[in-house]
Each structure stands twice: as C-alpha cells, then as structure tokens.
Amino acid sequence: MRITLTSVLVDDQDKALRFYTEVLGFVKRTEVPLGEHRWLTVVSPEAPDGVELVLEPDGHPAARPFKEALVADGIPYTSFTVADVHAETARLKALGVRFTQEPLEMGPVITAVFDDTCGNLLQIASAPAA
C-alpha cells in the first residue's frame, strides 16, 4: 500500500492552479473536466511521477466551516518539505505570499506557515542544517 493522491480543498480551482504552479512551483499533472469542476492535480517537479495533490473544490457544506476553523486556530491544512525554510520563505514573500508564522525552529525541524489564497494555511518544513 502507498499514497498516490492527497487533496487540498480550494475555493477556486483556477486561482488554486495559478498559485500552486506559478507561486509554489508545482506542475499540473492531470486536468479532466467533470461538469462544473475538474479533476485537477499538481505534482512536484522533483517527483513528476510521485504523489499527486488534488486541487479539490470545497463545495461540500462541511468543507468551508472546517477550513475556516483551521485558519482561525492557525492550523495548517497540510505540510510540504523544502530544503531550506528560510530561503523558501524569502522566495515566497518576494512573490507576495502572506506568512502567518515566520520560520521557527521546532525541535528537529524548522517550519513556517502561509496563506494559499484559496482558504487554507499551508506549512513548509525542513530539518535544520547540521
């Protein structure tokens, strides 16, 4: 058994695709029209055959209250690994990304949290330099 898909609930698939590709640097893997929405996935350019992230519409009645509660409590929806949290934070800030938590050493990792513009907080994390 292995993980092949995971999803993030987004309020607008077009906006999400722009943010996750043009800002975060993922690449579009799959786009299949499904009526009002699409089956839309992105992958890391470092692992194009790896885990796909589904940019899933948050149309279910429970989705938005769930996302709003996480944001209100400052809880990231998911986490991505980066080589250097400080460098990635600087890169993303230069692109206009709003951070809710600056890089912070938390035991054996460094984390930072930002707004994905689609109703979620996301975390980036890396191990500190040895």
**CATH number where 85 lies:** 3.10.180.10
Q: How confident is the model at residue 129, as a pLDDT?
A: 63
Q: Residue 127 — very low, low, confident or very high, per pLDDT cuts 50/70/90?
A: confident
Taking a C-beta distance cutoff of 8 angstroms, is the pair 43, 51 a contact? Answer: yes
Query: How far, in Å, CA of 13 to CA of 118, rounded?
Result: 9
pLDDT at 60 over 80: yes
Tell me 23's DSSP state.
I
pLDDT tens for each residue of 64-102: 999 999 999 999 999 999 999 999 999 999 999 999 999
| Residues facing residue 28 across a β-bridge | 42
Count of domains observed in the chain:
1
Q: How confident is the model at residue 130, as a pLDDT?
A: 58
Range of the domain at 26: 5-126
Q: Locate all alpha helices (DSSP H) within 23-129, ordered by sequence.
A: 63-72, 85-94
Q: How confident is the model at residue 64, as a pLDDT?
A: 95
